[in-house]
Amino acid sequence: MKDFRREIAVAIAAQEKIKEVGLDEASVYEILEVPADEKMGDYAFPCFRLAKAFKKAPNAIAEKLAGLITVPAAEKVENVAAYINFYLDRGEVAAEVLKTVLSEGDGFGSSLLGKGKTAIVEYSSPNIAKPFHIGHIRSTVIGSAIGNIMKFLGYDVTRINHLGDYGTQFGKLIVAYRRYGSKEEVEAEPIKTLLKYYVEFHKLAEDDPTLEVEARETFSKLEQGAEEEYELWKWFREESLKEFTVVYEMLGIEFDSYAGESFYSDKMDRVIDELEEKNLLQESDGAMIVDLEEYDLGKALIKKSDGSTLYITRDIAAAIYRKETYDFYKNLYIVASQQDLHFKQWIKIVELMGYDWAADCVHIPFGLVRLENGAMQTRTGNVVFLEDVLRGAVEKTREIIIEKAVNTDDVEEMSKTVGIGAVIFQELHNNRIKDYTFSWDKVLNFEGETGPYVQYSHARAASLLKRASEDGIVPSMEGLASASKYLTSDSSFALVKALFNLPETIEEAGLKYEPSILTRHIVDIAQAFNGFYHEEHIFALDAKERDAKLLLVKCAKQALANSLGLLGVGAPERM
C-alpha cells in the first residue's frame, strides 16, 4: 500500500530550509504526527524545533513552509498555529485501500518484516497437577496472539508450552497421594483431586513440619530417577495434560512443543559445570549461588544445599538448548510481572557466561488477575477454573441466542464462537501490564467495546454482501475507479482510514508485544464500519456508487476477519 506519510516526509525534507537544519526524510517521517482532531488534517508537522535555527517564531515558520510544500496525494496543505497540516485526497486514499485489501485478501495487514528470522514464543505453561485457573488465561491468550501476530509479520514462529512439571511440589503430591490418595479419584477428576491433595498437604504440614522434609526427600528421589516416584510423576503429568488439552481445544490454541521443566533435567549438569569453569559459582551455606549484587540483582540461588536444582538452573539450560536447536532471533517469555527479578537474574547470568544472544531473550510481563473476594491461592483452593469460565461464557451466550431468537443453523457452534470469543477479546483488550479484577459480569458483558460487538459488525458486513449476491449483484472492479468519487464522505473516509492504518497497527502490536494495540484498533474499525452503515445508503440506485460502497463493505469484512483471527477469535458470518 502506498505510504502517504512517506510522500509527505519526502516533500518536507526537500525544502532547503529543512536541509539546513539537518533534518532528513527519515527524521521528518518520525516527527510527523496524526492530529487527534480530524478537522486538523491527516498528518501534521510541528515547527517548534525549527525556531532556533530559523530565528523566527514557530507560527511564522509554519506559515512560510506551508506555502512552499507540494504533496501529490494532498488536496490541501495549510498551517494552523505552529503546525503544517496535510489533508490527503480522500478519493485517492480510498482507491488505494480498496485495491490493496482486495488484492491481498487473507494476507491484508501481513508483512515480510520477520522473514528468515525465528521467534520462539513461550506461553501458558501451567503447573502439572495444579488447577488451570483464570489466572492462566493471560499468558495463554496473550502468548497465542503474539505468536499469531509474529507469524503474520513473516517470522518463523515456534510455540512452546514450558510445563511446570518438575519441582518440590511433586514431592508434596506424591507424599499426599501415598497417605490419603485414590487412583479412582484422580482418574475421575485429575486436577480438582490433585488440588484437593495439595491443599490438604499444606493444612497437615502446618501441624507436622516433618511432611515438608519428607516431600523434599521424595522430590530428591524423583530427580535421581527412582522408579516408583517417576511412575507417579509421569501419571500425574499425563492425567493433567488430558484436562489441559480440553481447555486448549476450547480456545483453539496449539503448541509446537510441550517440553517442560523436566525435559531439561539431564541438561543442568552442563550448566553448573560451565558456571564453575567460568568462575561464576560461589558456595553459600552449602548451596551454590551466582553473586549479582553489583548489578542490583541480589544473589541467584543455582543449587540447593541438598543438591536439588531450581527454576533458574532449568531456565538457563532451556535457553542454551533453544539457541542451539532453533537459532532464534528472539526468545520470548510471556510470564507474569511477578517473575521480573527471576528473568533479570538468569538473563544476566547467561550474559556473564559469554553468550551475546542473552539480549535476545525477552521477558514479556503481564499484570495479575485477582478475584473479587481476594487474590487467588492454590494452597487454599481459592481459584476459578478456566474451563468453568469458558463453559459459563458459552452457556450465557446460548441463553442470549435463544432469548433473542437469533437466526442461526447451529446454536451450539455460535454459542462457542461468540462466548469464548468474548472471553479472549476482553482479556486482550486490557493493556497486558495492568492488573485487573476478574468479574463474571464484565467478562460476559456483550455491550460496548467487546468481542461480540466486533463479531456482529463482521456478520453485518457478511449479511450485506449475502443480500447483494442474492439480488444478483456482484460488485465489479470498476467500483475501484468509482471510489474516488463515492467514498469521500466523512463516514466513508473514517472507515477507509481505519483500514489504511491496520497494517501499521499490526506491526506496532508485534514490535511492542502488545496485542491490546490491535484489539483496540479492531474496535475502531467496527465502529467506523457501523457509522458508515448507518450514514450511507449502500444499495444506491447508481450502480457505480453501489459497487464502490459494497467493495468497501467487503474490505471491512476482510480486515475484521484477519484481525480477529490474529487474536484467536472467530468471525461468524451470521449473528
Strands 369-371 and 436-438 come out as parallel
- 143 lies in some domain: no
Would you say residue 378 lies in a domain?
A: no
Q: How many CB atoms lie within 10 A of CB 105?
A: 10
Burial of 412 (0-12, 13-18, 19+ CB in 10 A): exposed
Task: Quote the CA–CA distance of 178 and 526 in Å, as a whole number.
Answer: 56
Measured between alpha carbons, how far is 133 from 376 in angstroms, rounded to an integer?
Answer: 9
List the catalytic residues: 130, 133, 136
CA distance 58 to 444: 51
Per cent of the chain over pLDDT 90 is: 76
The pLDDT-based confidence of 510 (bands split at 50, 70, 90) is very high
Spell 190-222 as b/e; 16+ CB within 10 A means b. Answer: bbebbbbbbbebbeebeeeeebbebbbebbbbb
Quote the number of domains for the chain: 1
Which residues fall within 8 angstroms of residue 124, CB to CB, at 6 or more apart?
136, 139, 140, 143, 144, 161, 248, 253, 255
Assessment of whether the complete model's pTM goes beyond 0.75: yes
Q: In the structure, what pLDDT confidence band is assigned to residue 369 with cuts at 50, 70 and 90?
A: confident
Residue 180 confidence (pLDDT) above 80: yes
475 found inside a domain: no
What pLDDT does 191 receive?
A: 87
Average pLDDT over residues 332-355: 97
Structural contact between residues 77 and 71, judged by C-beta atoms closer than 8 angstroms: yes
Expressed as residue numbers, the domain containing 50 is: 4-88
Q: How far apart are CA 141 and CA 146, in angstroms?
A: 8
539 phi, psi to nearest 5 deg: -85, 65
Residue 194 belongs to a domain: no
In which element (H, E) is residue 88 found?
strand 83-88
- For residue 470, give the amino acid letter: E
Higher pLDDT, 23 or 509: 509
- First-to-last C-alpha distance (Å) of the chain: 32
Does pLDDT of 374 surpass 60? no
Asked whether residue 49 is assigned to any structural domain, the reply reads yes
Segment holding 337, helix H or strand E: none
Decide if pLDDT at 260 tops 80. Answer: yes
Residue 529: how many other CB atoms lie within 10 Å: 27
CB-neighbour burial class of residue 154 (10 A; exposed 0-12, middle 13-18, buried 19+): middle
Tell me how far apart the alpha carbons of residues 140 and 124 are, in angstroms, rounded to a whole number.
Answer: 4
Judge whether 405 lies within some domain.
Answer: no
Instruction: Give the DSSP letter string of 358-406.
Output: GGGEEEE--PPEEETTB--BTTTTB--BHHHHHHHHHHHHHHHHHHTT-
Residue 549 included in any domain: no
The burial of 448, by beta-carbon neighbours within 10 Å (0-12 exposed, 13-18 middle, 19 or more buried), is given as exposed
In a domain, 231, yes or no: no
445-494 pLDDT, tens digit per residue, is 667 789 999 999 999 999 999 999 999 998 887 778 888 899 999 999 99
Domain CATH for 40: 3.30.1360.70
